[in-house]
Amino acid sequence: MFPERLRALRKGQKITLKELAEHLNQNLGPNEKPNTASQIGNWERGIRTPSYIEARKLAEFFDVSLDYLTGKSDRDDFDLAKLLISARNLTFNQTDISSDDRYEIFQLIDGYLKGRNNRLDTDKFYGKQEQLNLKLK
């Protein structure tokens, strides 16, 4: 599962093995060896497996969980509320989202979800009523 997920994530980002190796080699620790394109290719073919540190770097680079990357989970769930209150830089269509904007977006989504329950209840009531035909003949 890991090789297929890694290949799909890399190709989805439209980056080469060499480019991925360069990204992984940024901020190497004192005892870490640089990654190579052929090494990553071996991971994608299932010939070799990365170390925990390398797998963690891959998950961070592709912004997925280790569980998703390794196939333990079929979905990579993420709580949008946690993302909005995180310290990460967020953009929307290449526009930075300020902390004030994040708060407003959080409030909009929260209000929408709370109001959705009320709308669902009224849909049940109004869904049982006959609809009027307002077309003029």
CATH of domain 2-70: 1.10.260.40
Q: For the whole model, what pTM was predicted?
A: 0.56
Ranges of CATH 1.10.260.40 domains, the chain: 2-70
**Highest-confidence range of 35-44, 89-98, 104-113, 127-136, by mean pLDDT?**
35-44
Residue range 2-55, pLDDT digits in tens: 999 999 999 988 999 999 999 999 888 888 889 999 999 999 999 999 999 899
DSSP state string for the chain: -HHHHHHHHHHHTT--HHHHHHHHTTT--TTPPPP-HHHHHHHHHTSS---HHHHHHHHHHHT--HHHHHTS-SS----HHHHHHSSS--EETTEE--HHHHHHHHHHHHHHHHHHHHHHHHHHHHHTSPPP-----
